[in-house]
Structure 1
Amino acid sequence: MELLECTLTVDDLDEFVAQLGRIGDRHDVTIQAFDARYVVDRSHLECARKLADRAIAREENIARDRAVEVLLYAAGRRQINRALEMGINVGETDAIVLIDADSSGNEGGHKGGTAETLEREAATRRELVKLDAIEPTESILEAVDTEAICSFYDVTDTEQAATDASLSDLVRERVALLEVEK
């Protein structure tokens, strides 16, 4: 799994999403773009991808599309319309674009990939950064908007005070709870 930190400038959302789909199909990878405000860290998206793959392997997935299933888990929501709040919109957005060539759905999760898998992800990244809508940036994941994360995932001050778990731990707990809520 590779993450592309970037600023997106999207004029036509449907066309941009279709463009991501075509690039993903060309390289046989899953591509999902997230509003960076709602991504707490890399492990958050790794957990969502792993759980989405497990649901797909067990034929318990909610969405037909792997990218949408990953979005549902990352958002910790069963309803696609509510999960889309974590996606991107028209205009300028700091974003995290997940690129993942491993759709094996194995229980052990992604182990770093074969050379062929890594090359497909790298080729996808190279094609994505050529798009006019994508301006690669760095350090987006380092600038976590704690208030936005807490609001989106309903993490209260009381909950945080009652545990020594990190915000990342609490978000991953919500991601994992989607499995239970099915």
Structure 2
Amino acid sequence: MEVLEGRLAVEDLDAFVARLGELSERHEVTIQAFDATYLAGRRHLERSVELADRALERGENVARDRAVEILLYTAGRRQIDRALEMGVSEGKNRVAVLFDAGPDGEPSAEARASEAFEDAEQFEPEPTIATAAERGPETPDETLETPNEETLQTYFDITDAERAATDASLEDLVCERVALLEVEK
């Protein structure tokens, strides 16, 4: 799994989604773009991919498309329209774009994900993704390393009382919500 993080300016969402679709087909990998505001961290994405793959393997998936199934797990929801709230929108976005070749773990699959990742870094013309290094030291990295706690608590229905009652991190609680999707089927 590769994750491209940064800021993204999307002028035409349909064109952006089409470009990701082209990359996905060309490299035979799954690509899903997220508004990083809704992500609790890298482990959140890793767990979502793991659970989506397990659902697909067992034939318990809701979506036919692996990228959409991953989106559903990442959102902790079975309704696609609610999960799409986590997607990239037109305008300026903090993003995390996931590249994954599937559960087989073969070196060739990982190489395909890496190639697609490198290809995506070369988006021309717009949209462009400015990575933390490109933004410079005066702008802090605002993607997976700095989750938006207020948004996450609201989106995943995590109360202040729940946080106060546990030593678990916010990412742990979000991952718990993602895992509970299996139980709620």
Q: TM-score, normalised by structure 2?
A: 0.90
**3-state DSSP of counterpart to 2:67:** helix
Confirm whether residue 166 of structure 1 aligns to residue 158 of structure 2: no
CA distance in 2, matches of 1:62, 1:68: 9
Unaligned runs of 5+ in 2: 133-140
Query: Aligned runs of 1:22-171 on 2, under 5 Å?
Result: 22-104=22-104, 113-131=105-123, 132-138=126-132, 139=141, 140-171=143-174
The alignment partner of 2:117 has SS state of: helix
Structure 2 partner of 1:181: 184
Aligned residues: 174
Separation in structure 1 between the aligned mates of residue 48 and residue 102 of structure 2, nearest angstrom: 13
Query: What letter corresponds to residue 43 of structure 1 in structure 2?
Result: R
CA distance in 2, matches of 1:18, 1:137: 22
CA distance in 2, matches of 1:82, 1:5: 23
RMSD over equivalenced CA pairs, Å: 1.2
TM-score by length of 1: 0.91
SS of the equivalent of 2:63 reads: coil
Percent identity, aligned pairs only, is 54
* Gaps in structure 1 of 5+ consecutive residues: 105-112
